[in-house]
Amino acid sequence: ETLDKGLEKSNTSFFNKLSKAVAGKSKVDDEVLDNLEEVLVTSDVGVNTTLKVIERIEARVAKDKYLGTDELNKILREEIAGLLSETNSGEETEYTIPADKKPYVLMVVGVNGVGKTTTIGKLAYQFKKKGLKVVLGAADTFRAAAIDQLQVWADRVDVPMIKQKMGSDPASVAFDALQSGVNQDADVIIIDTAGRLHNKVNLMNELTKVKRVMQKVVGDAPHDVLLVLDGSTGQNAFEQAKQFTAATEVTSLAVTKLDGTAKGGVVIGISDQFQIPVKYIGVGEGIEDLQVFNKYEFVDSFFK
């Protein structure tokens, strides 16, 4: 299973750390809870979510008077699945878009380097593979490289891409892309935007303007605002989530680079703290290395 392979390293690390945290202990006591807290924090679950999990486990210890460390895995698993359930229904296994939204407009936000372009390319590939007509819009106009790299993916996947020259108005590119998408009878239009975190007000203004201008073409666009975060960057990912959610309404997350990292806990912490579902996870650089996030598979692989 690719997910197992992709998350292997992070699972091993989490599992190893967890095993060490309870080594030589038969019951969950304050020391085990302290160790567990450290395991969660160093796995990048985030302080708030870690405290929430610890409190819930403490409550169970208090209720049952005794909790064996052999049961801790099971209980921790239930608590983490419970947290993920607040935002992720977990049934998703496929790349789907609602049939009643045509064209479906997906606006993608995130800072440079997190894997935004790669994620857009992989998504375009997945949607095209399902027989959907895809159009890309290169509205991250700040760096020429961002436009060029997206073009590489557009060519590779063989989907049309709408662009203007570097430095042009992102909203204008988004407008063109939507108009072109509508003219071509596209099913999905993916708009790449804002690759930099300048100041918060600028970011907010830019994204608000892109949305407003898109709505001149497709009244209820965007249907999804996908924030791409690098899962290997821990606290940076939390910080970026904070900035982007303050600047615009983010409706879903893609967490990349979960292959070869011990930081899979970011998925748990960020979806909990921001109450936004994780929709996709990136598990490699290849075109197939994007998966629809499934909370059951995720939790399973985390505790293997």
Question: What residues form the annotated binding site for GTP?
Answer: 110-117, 192-196, 256-259
Break the chain down into helix, strand, coil percent, rounded to 5: 55, 15, 35
Minimum CB–partner distance for residue 193 and ligand GDP (Å): 11
Among 284, 293, 297, 302, binds ligand GDP (CB under 6 A): 284
Q: Is 282 in the site for ligand GDP (CB under 6 A)?
A: yes
Three-state DSSP state, 218: coil
Q: Is 286 in the site for ligand GDP (CB under 6 A)?
A: no
Comparing CB distances to ligand GDP, the nearer of 23 and 152 is 152
Touching ligand GDP, residues 95-114 (CB under 6 A): 110, 112-114
Residue of 231, 291, 224, 293 whose CA lies nearest to 252: 224
Site mask for ligand GDP (CB under 6 A), range 194-213, x = bound: --------------------
What is the pairing mode between strands 278-282 and 134-138? unpaired
Tokens 């499934």 identify what position?
294
Give the dihedral sign, CA 248/250/254/257: positive
Q: Are 265 and 45 in contact (CB under 8 A)?
A: yes
Tell me whether residue 126 or residue 149 sits nearer to ligand GDP (CB atom): 149
Interface with ligand GDP (CB under 6 A), residue from 187, 259, 272, 297: 259
Site for ligand GDP in 122-151 (CB under 6 A): 149
- Residues 6 or more apart whose Cβ sits within 8 Å of residue 304: 4, 11, 15
Of 38-46, 125-133, 202-210, 251-259: span binding ligand GDP (CB under 6 A): 251-259
Q: Binding of ligand GDP at residue 283 (CB under 6 A)? A: yes
Q: Which residues are annotated as a binding site?
A: 110-117, 192-196, 256-259
- Longest Cα–Cα distance in the chain: 67
What's the CA gap between 216 and 179, in Å, rounded?
9
Task: Select 117 or 141, whichever has its Cβ closest to ligand GDP.
Answer: 117
Q: How far apart are CA 83 and CA 77, in angstroms?
A: 10
Sheet holding 188-192, edge to edge: 161-162, 134-138, 188-192, 104-109, 224-230, 252-256, 278-282, 290-292
Give ∠ CA 62-269-286 in degrees, rounded to 5: 140
Kindly indicate which of the ranges 19-27, 130-138, 238-246, 252-260 contains the residues binding ligand GDP, using the contact rule CB under 6 A.
252-260
Nearer CB in complex with ligand GDP: 38/155: 155
Q: Which of 43, 49, 256, 271 binds ligand GDP (CB under 6 A)?
A: 256
Q: Is residue 257 close enough to count as binding ligand GDP by CB under 6 A?
A: yes
* Interacting residues toward ligand GDP by CB under 6 A: 110, 112-118, 149, 256-257, 259, 282-285, 289
